[in-house]
Amino acid sequence: MDNRHAAGLRPRPKLHTGAVPAGLAPDAVPKRPVPAPRPSVMQAPVLVLNATFEPINVTAVRRALVLMLKGVAQAEETSHHEVHSTSRAVQVPSVIRLLSYRHIPQQSRALSRKNILLRDRNTCQFCGSVFPASDLTLDHVLPRSRGGRSSWENLVACCYTCNNRKGDRTPEEAGIKLQRRPRPFTLHTSRQLMRLIGHRDEKWRKYLFY
Ligand SMILES: [Zn+2]
């Protein structure tokens, strides 16, 4: 058997000719004093308003700038930061407004693990502690074995300790109490979250009415 031929059939490791994407194999990247492109500014939250000034979403500065460059949105409020392109400096937006009206369905949030954790703000609904998403599970308040459904009203964020303690029982049987009654993700929930995200930005207030 020709060993050289066999070796040639083996998939060869890909050679990196260009830059290694950020976040991939950081150890393989030679350490150079490259200034970071101020990721905190580009990822800062921006309030998105509909054409009618109704708050509809929160996005990141990076995405907001793209919407502005595309002519889809314009800045209503700006922060004191600037970003520089080759030709000009742009004030970083704090609030943007869509230039044409977008219809937002009343219940647009899908029932998903991500959205349940978002609604419950990564807080275990039994012990009230905040956890990273990886340390939370979803608990059926009325267990599935008792006919409990997978619904907004019956699913809550739950830490593993509380989940184990509760087991296949109702909160009453397990002697633990729900922090609050789980509700569907409504417009009200969205507003609450927007206020929470924007609590440090004075310029959001007049659009969120608080
Ligand atoms: Zn807990």
**pLDDT at residue number 38:** 58
Placement of tokens 């049987």 in the chain: 173
Distance from Cα 39 to the centre of ligand 1, integer Å: 33
pLDDT at 84 over 90: no
Distance 11 CA to ligand 1 centre (A): 48
Q: How far is the CA of 123 from the centre of ligand 1 (A)?
A: 8
Predicted confidence band of residue 21 (pLDDT cuts 50, 70, 90): very low
Q: In whole angstroms, give the CA distance from residue 64 to residue 42.
A: 9
Q: How confident is the model at residue 108 (pLDDT cuts 50, 70, 90)?
A: low
Q: Rounded to an integer, what distance in angstroms lies between the CA atom of residue 133 and that of residue 115?
A: 11
Cα–Cα dist 118/41, whole Å:
23
Q: What are phi and psi of 140, to 5 degrees?
A: -80, 115
Q: What dihedral do alpha carbons 191, 182, 166, 133 form, nearest 10°? A: -20
Q: Give me 8's structure tokens.
A: 């040639």
Centroid of ligand 1 to alpha carbon of 118 (angstroms) = 16
Calculate how far, in angstroms, residue 110's C-alpha sits from the geometric centre of ligand 1. 24
Given this model, what pLDDT does residue 18 score?
38
Work out whether strand 73-84 and strand 89-98 pair parallel, antiparallel, or are unpaired: antiparallel
- pTM across the whole model: 0.57
130 alpha carbon – ligand 1 mean position (Å): 9
pLDDT of 6 over the 70 cut: no
Q: How far apart are CA 3 and CA 113, in angstroms?
A: 51
The Cα 147–Cα 140 span in angstroms is 10
What's the 127 CA to ligand 1 centre distance in angstroms? 4
Q: How far is the CA of 124 from the centre of ligand 1 (A)?
A: 5
- pLDDT (mean) for 49-65: 92
Q: How far is the CA of 164 from the centre of ligand 1 (A)?
A: 9
Q: How many whole angstroms from its chain centre is CA 148?
A: 28
Residue 67 phi, psi dihedral angles, 5° rounding: -60, -35
Q: For residue 137, which of 155, 110, 153 has the smallest C-alpha distance?
A: 155
